[in-house]
Structure 1
């Protein structure tokens, strides 16, 4: 499909944006790798694929920045309450007993203790229960409902009035009570934990992002299994046996970088992350494919018609502590080792279908885009550009939300651009947070395929304006 490209001196250049089928083919290729990046030990598959794409598109300065990260994997786990085996999944990044790399194990006989049920794990809950030496049972709660995003938005594109009040309480799984509850449990001398996925659909296959300092072993169970455990406890079977063993080992995180030089070394960074905990069709094969679409599109525009340099960046270590992101910021922003000055960041993540919890607890998928936000901290004229691009390309259920309103409330920018944003780079970050984001259920069928090209087109509009806006007029 044709689109008018960068417009230096008023002369429009024609370029062709890859269509939905082409972009989805890249999504499919990446998802076929399954676990990738630091989630698979010393994995180069997505990196090599992306290097090949960047070379095919004619990008220059192609490189792989390597960073020290780690790989966590459980080799064995078991949970028995009374005499009843309970289905579960290991809580990734738990049992970080060495606060670093090495094997972990509850021993041949496992950890066998009474259960201490602290409900939602608030301070008052802990005050009523002695958890010393025990396995703590608590409810994992998701803290950011869609209604919070809608309340903070300055603009929403919803031409069909599709916002359903019954959907607004659904929360994404990014921000939870996990860190606070586990810190209370560890401080109180707990020996392990079982987290009940109380706000989740009927799955225990969740792989949240890394939380530092979880020194005790832990397992996840479904809401239904949590109710079963509590029923067993009420009937007198309050004893639990937990087994968890595996290892955390060092591995290399790899960030793929490529350039399309412009007439200026002032540079627009276009970013996503290529690693995945599962197949990662939505997170983040879809975001990576959007970056590929933009790289191929802009590669067809001659350098003399690109006012600024474009830098395409695909990160690793999204789950394992963001070491690649920190290393990138140190090298290219804080103490830049290149002549390129990054003046704006565009980040693309999660082209997703809407998900809800059905009446039977199962995951329900709707053929609608998941509610999504564009977090930004740019000037008023560029805010208008974002709104116009969202409307022109009909990115339904998309909210523009000033980052400076959200970040003070939750303490961080909840996107892959967080480290770049914290480093002071003006950032425009597109993201959604469907329920299945960290789950094994994040498969290709969850990608909102019909939105792939429109999202790329909208962000090409935005990038065109970033490229022709004087760099000192980009920030808010």
Structure 2
């Protein structure tokens, strides 16, 4: 059976190898190495933090020079270490998940920084959790021609129930994207269908969700669903497969299975799972307050839970929260126009997120003039080149949301432009993630990106550039400062006219 000490799947080749193979329009012979080497990469083939494009501070922004991306990334690495310790402790579905020791240690970490920087009223708010899924053992093997083999990226689905002790075994059938057209003339009754999931760009928006592929497979009689995640590399992900057995593999491993089937081979998959649902568990949010010159509050939120290393989702948000905390803790209270309230939120992957704030908005948000959600706030920009996702020396643009007045919008866009925070041309129709339910209860701001690595075991620190953490922290600090002279009423969104239906 599989244990937590199993090796992590590789994500393609090091960039040095990729680049040496990328010339001459795919000729079989690799080009000789360039005598100049790879000036932007470190010895492991990963882009160096100092190789990223940086925009110099304007003279009137020198007050933000102390917000340093390298320092913020060190805090991210501390959060990352919590996840690695949870993995090394033997947890199979590891990370900083609610109801686990990893989440409790994350609460301790957040509270420690709140107290270190002198926040007032530091406390924890406990929530009862729905039963939490906990796998205790699993195994996935494949067989062809009497030979059994494993795949490096193969993972069970999140939420999977226990199988019989001997496991279950199915013949494998390739079903392309799992659309209705892919089933024409195909009999999948009692078989495991293998479906390719195309990220758009990640697990938040992806083809099996758009096509409802898992439900269709079950309706057509499939006994199990296998998901091939992505169009590049070999990401390991634990996507759900409904109430049926299933498995996930990365692109490289999925293409290996597809090609075996394409050669006419009979491929089988054997799957064994031991899991339980743990009831009666709790998890907590952590609160702290940095008083300002007035009792009006700006609420700064970062969720604490995360799958696996979760460097982007949401180590990046937690690190930026500490960066803002350090910056404002060094400013005299009289020079902070508003009170800053910090919330290490319990999380929404398996917890209630900020639903409590929405449900109690009349009291919990009575003094809140603005909410800022720090979630997936910095990732490296990437480019596909064949079956590889290549890093670039730039920070990825993000989706964005502002709920408030034109004056608030002007301040936000000015700050994003000053600090090179790239955003989509069109603004989102609503906030997502941790702030989704409460985003219209008060004026609010969010930037967020959800790339291919999100919710995979490859959401690791090398995808999070220090300069990106620096840029967004400086931008939010300038936004907070620029809003000081504006009254609460001046931040409020305009009231929309009622529709014909009165809604």
Equivalent position of 1:203 in the other structure: 234
Q: Which moves more between the two structures, 298-307 or 189-198?
A: 298-307
How many angstroms does 1:400 deviate by?
6.0
Where relative contact order (Cα < 8 A, 6+ residues apart) is larger, the structure is: 1
Residue equivalent to 1:388: 414
Is the CA contact (8 Å cut-off) linking 2:199 and 2:205 kept in structure 1?
yes
Q: 1:468 aligns with which of 485, 494, 501?
A: 485
Equivalent residues in 2 for 1:35-184, closer than 5 Å:
35-38=94-97, 41-43=100-102, 44-69=104-129, 70-73=132-135, 75-82=137-144, 83=146, 84-87=148-151, 88-95=153-160, 104-126=161-183, 128-143=185-200, 171-179=201-209, 180-184=212-216
Taking the aligned partners of 1:55 and 1:121, their CA distance within structure 2 comes to 52
Equivalence map 1:398-409=2 (5 Å): 398-399=423-424, 401-404=426-429, 407=430
Aligned equivalents of 2:137 and 2:115: distance in 1? 38
Distance in 1 of aligned mates of 2:154 and 2:283? 25
1:260 pairs with 2:295 = no
Whether the aligned pair in 2 keeps the contact of 1:355 and 1:434 (CA below 8 Å) is: no
2:373 corresponds to 1:324: no
Aligned residues, how many? 417
SS in 2 for 1:215: coil
Which of 453, 460, 464 in structure 2 is aligned with 1:443? 460
Preserved CA contact (<8 Å) 1:370 1:433: no
Aligned to 1:455: 472
Instruction: Report deviation, 1:272.
Output: 1.6
Structure 1's 420 and 127: CA in aligned 2 closer, same or farther, altered over 3 A?
farther
Moved more, 274-283 or 126-135: 126-135
Question: Pick from 293, 297, 300: which aligns with 1:270?
Answer: 300
**2:15 maps to which residue?**
none
CA distances 1:250-307 after superposition (whole Å, capped 9, x unpaired): 4433222211234544322111222222223332222111111112222233444444
TM-score normalized by the length of structure 2:
0.74
CA contact (8 A) 2:229 2:237 kept: no
Counterpart Cα distance in 2 of 1:314 and 1:38: 14
Once the two structures are overlaid, the 10-residue window that deviates more, 29-38 or 247-256, is 247-256
Aligned residue for 1:442, secondary structure, equals coil
Write out aligned runs for 1:222-301 (5 A).
222-234=250-262, 235-250=264-279, 251-301=281-331
- Going from structure 1 to structure 2, the CA distance change for 1:467 and 1:189 (only over 3 Å counts) comes to farther
Distance 1:51 1:3, change over 3 A: farther
**Contact 1:37 1:317 (8 Å CA) reproduced:** no
Where structure 1 has 5 or more consecutive residues not aligned to the other structure, the ranges are 6-11, 96-103, 144-170, 408-412
C-alpha separation between the residues in 2 aligned to 1:36 and 1:294? Answer: 25
**1:49 CA drift (Å):** 1.3
CA distance in 1, matches of 2:78, 2:449: 22
In the TM superposition, residue 437 of structure 1 has moved relative to its aligned partner by 2.5
Structure-2 separation of matches of 1:217 and 1:475: 49
Provide closer, same or farther for how the CA distance between residues 260 and 16 of structure 1 changes in structure 2, counting only shifts above 3 A. farther
Structure 2 unaligned regions, length at least 5: 1-55, 84-93, 494-503
- If each structure's strand is expressed as a fraction of its own residues, which one has the higher value? 1
Question: Map of 1:349-364 to 2, 5 A cutoff?
Answer: 349-359=376-386, 361-364=387-390
